[in-house]
Chains A and B, each alone.
Chain A
Amino acid sequence: MRVVLAEDHFLLRDGLIRLLGAFGHEVVAAVDNGPDLLAALTTHRPDVAVVDVRLPPTFADEGLRAALAARRDLPALPVLLLSQYVEPLYARELLADGAGAVGYVLKDRVSNGAEFMSTIRCVADGGTVMDPEVVTKLLSSKDRDQGVGSLTPREREVLAALAEGRSNAGIAEALFITEKAVAKHIGNIFPKLGLHACDSDNRRVLAVLAYLER
């Protein structure tokens, strides 16, 4: 895959280039600030962009803004945002266009190379990946909610995995249960939350996140 990388810390940028190279991906541009990122995205049109949220010159959410701006011109351009913190408000903004092909994860996740690569792959394929922490935050705020409150602990785990963007197979693997059991749990969860079950993984994630943010 052709990747555009935006990261202002030299060590991390270097590490990511090597990591991506090791898994056979080509970094077509590596930039360290917001304006350069926007330019790189529109000229290279990469298969996926890996972007740090906080970038110069403002050291605020420059990366997020550049990614959103690029996606306005190039809809559904796959973007994976990395950050030292995850903020549900930013997740909402990323998901707002409903086009999918976005990811928003903690920088920590980079330390597990294989999983990080599968995250990148999922985003490039048009999927939606949210960091478990976003999901945890939203879930914990819904403790008193009738829908979420009525879920069993196992169903909550499945819901969290679902919101992170995992497929049925992925959920089965993470929770050490069979795919059939996953399908059964999902069949229980959706009616409890008053959501319509849908086939595409991506739309499923969006429905769950929209519910959690309500």
Chain B
Amino acid sequence: MGGIAVVETTGGGVFADGMRGLGRSLRLWGLGIRATVMSLLVSLVLFSLPGVGLLLVPAVVGGVRRVANRQRELAGAWSGRPIPVPYAPKPADEGFLSRCRWIAHDTQTWRDWLWVTLDPIVGVALAFLPIGLILSGFWGMGLAFFGPELSAEWDGLWFDFIPVEGPTTAMLAGVLGLLHLPLALWLAPRTVRAHGAWTRRLLAPSETARMADRIEHLSVTRSDAVDTQMAEIRRIERDLHDGAQARLVAMGMTLDAAEHLLDSNPEAVRSLLIEARKSSSKALEELRDLVRGIHPPVLADRGLADAVRALAMVSPLTAEVTVDLPGRPELPVESAVYFAVSEILANAAKHSGGDRVWLDLRYDHGMLRVGITDDGRGGADISRGTGLRGIERRLATFDGVLAVSSPLNGPTMVTMEIPCVLSSPKTTSC
């Protein structure tokens, strides 16, 4: 069976819907048969568990998962609502015992088992209903011609609710059989939908599994956030210690020396004072750079839009900025996005080899979207650059995502999406 590439939507007439439904029913029925085979295998393994069956568990579970995944794929594509694959990721250890543990600990394994046991009844019945109607319809139409003889031979014959006895009843059976066809067409899309609901019920991740996923995600991003913050604090501490603090100490010493030389050597005092002033302006410069790295003043004053414009102004690339933000995001989001844009712009200037860059900030449906496109040579890879990985991790704290499209010969397009709310624009005094 071929793969489903796109979400198929219903369209065309009732007839087209019906035909499509019938096609799908056939495929589901085929899958149902596969599930039935798997179900038999599972029973076999279960009954011979103490013996050789145990060794077969991973292979059988693998088979069940393949059928189930195919089922999820189809139901997802046909309903337009994908069913996520709920299994825990494979353990790195390929050993038999660890694979068994991986299988046994996954709650979905037990739901799969329930599904594979029931699907031969529920799933197959649902899938077969329209097909059966068609088949019996043809049977009924056939009866119109050879019904009476067959009835005589078999000592009486019923079609649906009609006793076929003579030419009249045979004719009636034929008409009724013909009516089966539109009924099957009408029914097929409905049974396919019901089948999808059945699949979703047992094969979609359970609420518990989704919660577990969410908790896993939250703890990973939380520990990332804490680590990042700690690293930041360490950096600030080091910068202060090696920079401004050291300069102030030196300045104190210089001034002290100047004080001692005041009477004996005024000329030397003069040069010491000049040195002290230079130290003070150097210390100020370092403090300025430090503050810029923590929270840039233009971001604090004006918000994300102007801060990004300011970044564009000092970028070596010719930058074009389009902003459509009806308000300001929360401060932490603003700051994360600002530093992400700053880093991506710096990357583009350093590595892309292009001359132009387009920045696009917009907000819709609760999502802040930022697009950064350059006309460089492309070939950027998120899995190679630690920079992009770092940005991705920092955005993940806000449930934000980063996507990079960078074919060889460009262009490189970096897109970020962060769910957030905007505050209404601040009214200013002028």
Encode B127-158 as 1/0 by CB contact (under 8 A) with A: 00000000000000000000000000000000
Is A69 positioned at the interface, with any CB of B under 8 Å from its CB?
yes
Let me know if A87 and B297 touch, CB within 8 A.
yes
Q: How many inter-chain residue pairs (CB < 8 Å) link A and B? A: 63
Is B310 positioned at the interface, with any CB of A under 8 Å from its CB?
yes
Let me know if A65 and B428 touch, CB within 8 A.
yes
Is A23 positioned at the interface, with any CB of B under 8 Å from its CB?
no
Let me know if A87 and B310 touch, CB within 8 A.
yes
Residue among B281, B297, B316 with the most chain A CB within 10 A?
B297
The residues of A that contact B302 with a CB separation of less than 8 Å are: 60-61, 89
Let me know if A60 and B314 touch, CB within 8 A.
no
Let me know if B281 and A108 touch, CB within 8 A.
yes
Provide the main secondary structure of the chain B interface.
Answer: helix
Is B306 positioned at the interface, with any CB of A under 8 Å from its CB?
yes
Enumerate B273-310 residues with CB–CB distance to A below 8 Å.
277, 280-281, 284-285, 288, 291-292, 297-298, 300-302, 306, 309-310
> How far, in angstroms, from A62 to B309 measured CA to CA in the complex?
19
Determine the residue in chain B with the shortest Cβ distance to A143: B316
Determine the residue in chain B with the shortest Cβ distance to A145: B316
Encode A37-72 as 1/0 by CB contact (under 8 A) with B: 010000000000000001000101110011011000
Is A178 positioned at the interface, with any CB of B under 8 Å from its CB?
no
Let me know if B316 and A88 touch, CB within 8 A.
no
Is B9 positioned at the interface, with any CB of A under 8 Å from its CB?
no
The residues of B that contact A196 with a CB separation of less than 8 Å are: none
The residues of A that contact B265 with a CB separation of less than 8 Å are: none
Encode A69-96 as 1/0 by CB contact (under 8 A) with B: 1000000000000001101111010000
Let me know if A84 and B297 touch, CB within 8 A.
yes
> How far, in angstroms, from A65 to B281 measured CA to CA in the complex?
27
Let me know if B292 and A88 touch, CB within 8 A.
no
Let me know if B301 and A60 touch, CB within 8 A.
yes
Let me know if B288 and A89 touch, CB within 8 A.
no
The residues of B that contact A90 with a CB separation of less than 8 Å are: 298
The residues of B that contact A61 with a CB separation of less than 8 Å are: 301-302
> How far, in angstroms, from A106 to B285 measured CA to CA in the complex?
10
> How far, in angstroms, from A30 to B292 measured CA to CA in the complex?
29
In angstroms, how far is the closest chain A Cβ from the Cβ of B183? 71
> How far, in angstroms, from A88 to B309 measured CA to CA in the complex?
10
Let me know if B430 and A38 touch, CB within 8 A.
yes
Let me know if A88 and B313 touch, CB within 8 A.
yes
Q: Which of A3-11, A134-142, A163-171, A179-187 contacts B (4 or more CB under 8 A)?
A: A134-142
Is B429 positioned at the interface, with any CB of A under 8 Å from its CB?
yes
Is B315 positioned at the interface, with any CB of A under 8 Å from its CB?
yes
In angstroms, how far is the closest chain B Cβ from the Cβ of A70? 9
From A69, A85, A106, A141, give the contact of B314 (CB < 8 A). Answer: A141
In angstroms, how far is the closest chain A Cβ from the Cβ of B197? 55
> How far, in angstroms, from A58 to B429 measured CA to CA in the complex?
10
Number of interface residues of B (CB under 8 A): 24
The residues of A that contact B280 with a CB separation of less than 8 Å are: 111
Enumerate B227-248 residues with CB–CB distance to A below 8 Å.
none
In angstroms, how far is the closest chain A Cβ from the Cβ of B107? 52
Residue among A88, A92, A108, A137 with the most chain B CB within 10 A?
A108
Enumerate A101-127 residues with CB–CB distance to B below 8 Å.
106, 108, 111-112
Enumerate B297-335 residues with CB–CB distance to A below 8 Å.
297-298, 300-302, 306, 309-310, 313-316
The residues of A that contact B297 with a CB separation of less than 8 Å are: 54, 84-85, 87
From A34, A84, A143, A144, give the contact of B429 (CB < 8 A). Answer: A34
In angstroms, how far is the closest chain B Cβ from the Cβ of A110? 11
Let me know if A62 and B429 touch, CB within 8 A.
yes
Let me know if A111 and B277 touch, CB within 8 A.
yes
> How far, in angstroms, from A58 to B300 measured CA to CA in the complex?
10
Question: Contacts A60-B301, A108-B281 given: A88-B310 contact, CB under 8 Å?
Answer: yes
> How far, in angstroms, from A138 to B313 measured CA to CA in the complex?
8
The residues of A that contact B288 with a CB separation of less than 8 Å are: 84-85
In angstroms, how far is the closest chain B Cβ from the Cβ of A6? 13
Determine the residue in chain B with the shortest Cβ distance to A92: B313
Determine the residue in chain B with the shortest Cβ distance to A33: B429
Residue among A58, A87, A92, A140 with the most chain B CB within 10 A?
A87
Determine the residue in chain A with the shortest Cβ distance to B311: A89
Determine the residue in chain A with the shortest Cβ distance to B426: A58
In angstroms, how far is the closest chain B Cβ from the Cβ of A52? 12
Top 7 nearest A-B pairs (CB, nearest first) are A69-B430, A60-B301, A89-B310, A61-B301, A141-B314, A85-B297, A87-B298
